[in-house]
Structure 1
């Protein structure tokens, strides 16, 4: 498909923090995507969970499988709207790099522990990872991503105003990301693709975990119609195939709605450039109002029946203690951290800098490693009954 005038153009990219010679066979946004895929933090996402802790089963989504699904959805939507698929994919793949072990539970615990030192924000941590913590290249720390990719990671959910998370403020001081504006349409696509992916796969994971049944979710908007369509077309279908066929239709409803709604918003905006998109004052990639109301009902169901289910809350409390007990151990005795962290520890000017190094280390852990290290240092096994 021909690229739209408001698509991000790699030939007009604003460059990188450290200037580099451009590749002769990859655009700058392709290079960003490839560097994210090869990052250590990206690999570690395979053992970081969404809702369920890593040991609870091999079939549940992890941050890695989720990120791949988001990228797939994002490329589809970007292609339909005439946007740049490589930048869209790069932002989608990077959006969860800053997550702690144990999902939002680990983030909540680490944010509380870091409150005296500036707090913790997983989105800002993703920026810190790609600008400082990945240390593989000879000429720079981080991945030296383009301005457009960093902008997309920083504000794919919209402008960032007020007091900035310290990790984001550091990057913004060096490479002004114009945080008061909206991001490119590509980054906005990545954000909506995240919503589409987790709404769909949380339903599937919740069903697999037995937290609710197919009959219960058929009472929800969108979902009931999709199950009914499958039953009409494939009467008597095996229950697992029936579930898959229905939920893939739910997926399709959300993707089609975003494409149709966003296409109309973009046409009405009369945007001619990516700068026009940034300064419109409103997002251009959106669900329709009707679908958004329906999705809120689905989210409310998932919040009650999945995210706050008693069995999930019990595990959340247990893994929170893992983070809560690891943090003071490392803060009081940072040389318990691996040797390659000792240079950073010695360079820390005060307790705040040291706490941020400890936060970097703990947030980078996988579920499995956090449990193992906690057992090594405390002798406890909090997930054993």
Structure 2
């Protein structure tokens, strides 16, 4: 419906009280008599019996000037006879905000004095763009409430042989029930498939692990890292008879919220959002809060809000078990408990924080599921192995140097295993083995042995932990707690943990602190900080989808929203200035409490979302385009 009825009404008009009643009763219908000129009656008489948008401009007279004080927004249908023609009107919104009023007047091209004569007050107009803008303000955002439930899922045959502490299809919890059940296709398989088909997953192919993909295609990206984590995690999960689809879903999704330029990207975004960088510092000093940034938190926002695959709900509607594993695969230590900024609902927030929460000895929270705990340790194993391999490829570390680091008594077992691999090479050469690159092959065998070493260490320790847990009535606690374990069970042995930490130190010394990586980090930080400043100071540079999401988020907190696509450019620019400064103008009325602080936070979070979702290449291209 692109045709609408526009009514000009003086603020002293007696019938306004009936319109106010309609508004106060959430749209109860009232009759608005058509008593104006013949042209008014002809305009209404020419309408069909359909319902039309109705916009009532309530004005006051200041000398010869007529100024719109507020707008009534709703719908209306013509009714009555030829002699007593009227409109049956339902008022849904009352708008006093000056920006919205000015935008309406500009986009409708209406002039109160020139477009209505002394006896005329009704105009029937046609403008798809304006109706679209006003509908966005008039009506609440779409929300599907029909499938908001915790459903009961069926037993899957192949899961019957799983461990008693494994997750099963019937344990699955979602925000929204699945649209349909499918025979022997489990809910955690759905999670796995949704993640694989997501944009965030695809983008990981061009997000750096340590070295930029520009350095060469032999180096790991977030995508290849996640695939390695999945392979290692499934190996452990199989051995422990856990749910492989859940394990795989968590493993492939655990880094979907990662930024471009590796961990430097998330550190830079966090520094901007906490005021460590100067861009937002003045607004933060006035009371604004943004919740900081960490990739595992942002993965939740990606999965529950930013990915769009369905009409019925935002995000991918992953199971709470998968989301728990994704969030807790690493430290959950952003200050001031900002989790609510990253999740889509209070239901999920309550689940992720419900007691009893399993923890490490030093107090770090870990996943409720054994599958999530498996991914948490597999992530560590993957990093130790392939970071060493990347260090070899980058000539930042040699095998001899690695063996020298392993001369310490605690590390001697791994050194012995590496020497056994070298002896195997020597024997193979005696039998005329001729490799394309023996050094590279040796390094890959060492990486493989490290994975093998740690998987065996984890399996030995975890089986011991699980047996002890079951002896201490762990199965009944698991069932009582809603199929959640309340203790860290999947872990390295003390010796394995010491070795894992020591290898991480070696990587840090030889690679992370190297000039090459420091230069990459420095350049990445500069790109992200520059992009953030550019988008913040001129939000029109943002992608169309991001601008639409900002409007959607604004509408959740207020009806005072100007369309950033179709609105008047000058009014849009003034609105951006108020949002960036987090301050309303003196003439602004009908504002929610701290409305511009809230709008500022929405803008900042959406800029963060946009940058965090970029690949390395896209970020560099955006940076170069903006700087031209």
For the criterion TM > 0.5, the same-fold answer is: yes
Is 1:200 matched with 2:385? yes
| 2:423 aligned residue | 232
Instruction: Please state whether the residue corresponding to 2:257 is helix, strand or coil.
Output: coil
Q: Which moves more between the two structures, 363-372 or 12-21?
A: 12-21
CA shift, 1:27, in A, is: 0.2
TM-score, normalised on structure 1?
A: 0.92
Instruction: Please state whether the residue corresponding to 2:508 is helix, strand or coil.
Output: helix
Is 1:333 matched with 2:538? yes
Q: Distance in 1 between matches of 2:345 and 2:402?
A: 43
Q: Distance in 1 between matches of 2:507 and 2:202?
A: 28
Q: Which moves more between the two structures, 27-36 or 114-123?
A: 114-123
CA shift, 1:170, in A, is: 3.6
| 2:454 aligned residue | 254
Is 1:371 matched with 2:620? yes
| 1:38 aligned residue | 197
Q: Kindly indicate which of the two structures has a greater share of residues assigned to helix.
A: 1
| 1:173 aligned residue | 346
Deviations 1:40-60 (A, max 9, x none): 000000000101122111110
Q: Kindly indicate which of the two structures has a greater share of residues assigned to strand.
A: 2
Instruction: Please state whether the residue corresponding to 1:14 is helix, strand or coil.
Output: coil
Instruction: Please state whether the residue corresponding to 2:167 is helix, strand or coil.
Output: coil
CA shift, 1:202, in A, is: 0.2
Question: 1:120–1:165: 8 Å Cα contact kept in structure 2?
Answer: no
Question: Which residue of 337, 342, 345 maps to 1:164?
Answer: 337
Root mean square deviation of aligned Cα: 2.1
Is 1:190 matched with 2:375? yes
| 1:16 aligned residue | 175
Question: Which residue of 296, 320, 328 maps to 1:155?
Answer: 328
Q: Distance in 1 between matches of 2:617 and 2:175?
A: 35
Is 1:122 matched with 2:260? no
Q: Distance in 2 between matches of 1:151 and 1:178?
A: 6
Question: 1:154–1:168: 8 Å Cα contact kept in structure 2?
Answer: no
**Structure 2 gap ranges (5+):** 1-158, 275-283, 285-289, 359-367, 555-597
Question: 2:300–2:343: 8 Å Cα contact kept in structure 1?
Answer: no
Instruction: Please state whether the residue corresponding to 2:475 is helix, strand or coil.
Output: coil
Deviations 1:164-186 (A, max 9, x none): 23456644623222425132110
Deviations 1:103-131 (A, max 9, x none): 10011111111114221121111001111
Deviations 1:61-112 (A, max 9, x none): 0000000110111111011011111101101111001110001001111111
Give runs of aligned pairs for residues 83-122 of structure 1, distance below 5 A: 83-115=242-274, 116=284, 117-122=290-295
Q: Which moves more between the two structures, 131-140 or 196-205?
A: 131-140
CA, structure 1 residues 138+172, in 2 after alignment: closer, same or farther (shift >3 Å)? closer
Deviations 1:345-366 (A, max 9, x none): 3343511110000000000000
Q: Distance in 2 between matches of 1:371 and 1:339?
A: 19
Question: 2:247–2:375: 8 Å Cα contact kept in structure 1?
Answer: yes
Question: Which residue of 285, 291, 303 maps to 2:496?
Answer: 291
Q: Which has the larger radius of gyration?
A: 2
Q: Which moves more between the two structures, 247-256 or 367-376?
A: 247-256
Instruction: Please state whether the residue corresponding to 1:284 is helix, strand or coil.
Output: coil
Q: Distance in 2 between matches of 1:75 and 1:19?
A: 25
| 2:213 aligned residue | 54
Greater RCO, 1 or 2 (C-alpha within 8 Å, sep 6+): 1
